[in-house]
Structures are given as C-alpha cells and as structure tokens.
Structure 1
C-alpha cells in the first residue's frame, strides 16, 4: 500500500464527502444521534463548504495509490485569535485504513505546511475515546472541556493542544 498525502483538488469533493460520512457514522454511532450527524454532515460537507475549505484553509487528502481512492483527509487553518497557532478542524480516515499511520502522516504534512506555528489546537467529542487516545499518542494534551450546540443538540467536547515550541 502506497499512500500519497497531497492538497485536495476540486475532483476530490465527492471522495472527501464519502470519507466524512463513513467515518462519522462509525465513530459517533451511539454517541451523537444519527439525525444530528446527518444534519451536520449535510451542512459542513456540502459541495460549497468543501470547496470553501480548499480555498480558505489547508485541506489535505490521503490517497491510496494502489486502489486509486481517497481514504482520509485533514483540514487545518492558522488561528485568527492566537498568534502562531493553528487549528486542526477535521481529520478522518476510513475505518478499514485506520491504524496504518495515515492520520499521523496527515498531521505531519499539515504541520510542515504551516511554518512558524508553535501550537496546534483541536476539539474532540469527549466520548470519542479512540480519537482522544490517538491525539494523546501524538503528544496532544487536554486544555479544557466545552459544550457546543448544534441544531439544539449539545456536543460535549474536549479542547486539546499540541505544543510545538
């Protein structure tokens, strides 16, 4: 298996949407109600919003060169509120490719392409224990717990940071 990490392109929109839908439904089954998931995915990963992510932030994809398919993606941007900081807005790898280092490669490439940042922040759902374990294994630490509301549903999230200084 050869994985290529590259910048997302317009022709990747449908694949990014597929990865988001597939991973969300597996990751958040029993955590976030299916209707809330569907509403979020419909809005956050609409064609227009995926294209805006490509234009306004760093959107990377992981492509399995052997199969010719996009199997993961990560979305980063520089912080608008904290100097020399960045946000990891999303990172998803389809379940059958998880545990193969693809998430790590996506984070490494994102950090390479965001020179000068001293910390990387993210929010993760508190019950997403595999996700939290992954972030801890990469050196992230907990900042605090938050509650966010989406369509009248309260998400309980943990804010984490990777100190790069």
Structure 2
C-alpha cells in the first residue's frame, strides 16, 4: 500500500502550487480539493460566508474516497484539513500523510490580496486561522514554513516523509 499526501493549510498557503510540484516530482496522480466542492459551497464562499462543518462533510467524504481510490498507487491531494476531525475523516478513506503548509497570517493575507480568479475571498482568512488545529504529535505528517521557495518546501516534504 502507498500513501496519499494531503497538502493542507489555510487558503493562500500554496497548496495548489506545492501539491502539483510534489505530485510531479513523485510521479503520482494529483487532485485539487476545490474541485470536490459542491456548487452550494462555492456559492457560499464566493458570497463571503464561511462554511460550516455540515457544509464541509460531503466535500471531505469525496476527498476521503479519492484517497481510498489511490491507496495502492499513492497520490497528492490538496485540502485545507483545518481540524483534527476533518483529518480523521480523510484518514478513514485510506493511508494519508499530511503536509501542513504554514506561514503567519500577515504573510498569507498578502498572498491572498494579490490573487485573482479564486472563489475564496480574503475576508474569510481569519475564520480559517480561527478553525485551524495544527497537526498533533500522533498524526502522520510534517509542518513546513512556506515562506521558503517551492522547491525547498517540496524537498523538505519528500525528506520528512521519506516519500521515495
């Protein structure tokens, strides 16, 4: 059995950038968590309304199913995975290892202010930081500072998980 890397963190932490680079480096399938959201969730976030746990449940279940489908081959999927309960649900889908992309809220806010074409407005960033439960010592994963270049973040992730 292989492992699926879940690239986690708040919006604007670089999940898509790091996730696609890591998947390419490992030669495994990649999935973007935003594509698992029901239209209702996207509409809610676009309007500036934070999602509830109930809103996130079908989304998390769909990502967990993807993890299960890639348990034999491995893969990389992005998901904010802000709470321990969310990560527990994702792990129920199959073997998952979490790469927590981290930076100070001010750094992330600066990134979001320059981002275009995404449904997640910068106004919801504070709610994401408020919901964020860092990885606990019994959770498989690693936290990495994303102020470093993408190549360094990917190399650190690969070394931390011995992904090769």
Q: Which has the higher helix share?
A: 2
Instruction: Give yes or no for TM over 0.5.
Output: no
Q: Normalising to structure 2: TM-score of the pair?
A: 0.31
Q: Normalising to structure 1: TM-score of the pair?
A: 0.31
Q: Which has the higher strand share?
A: 1
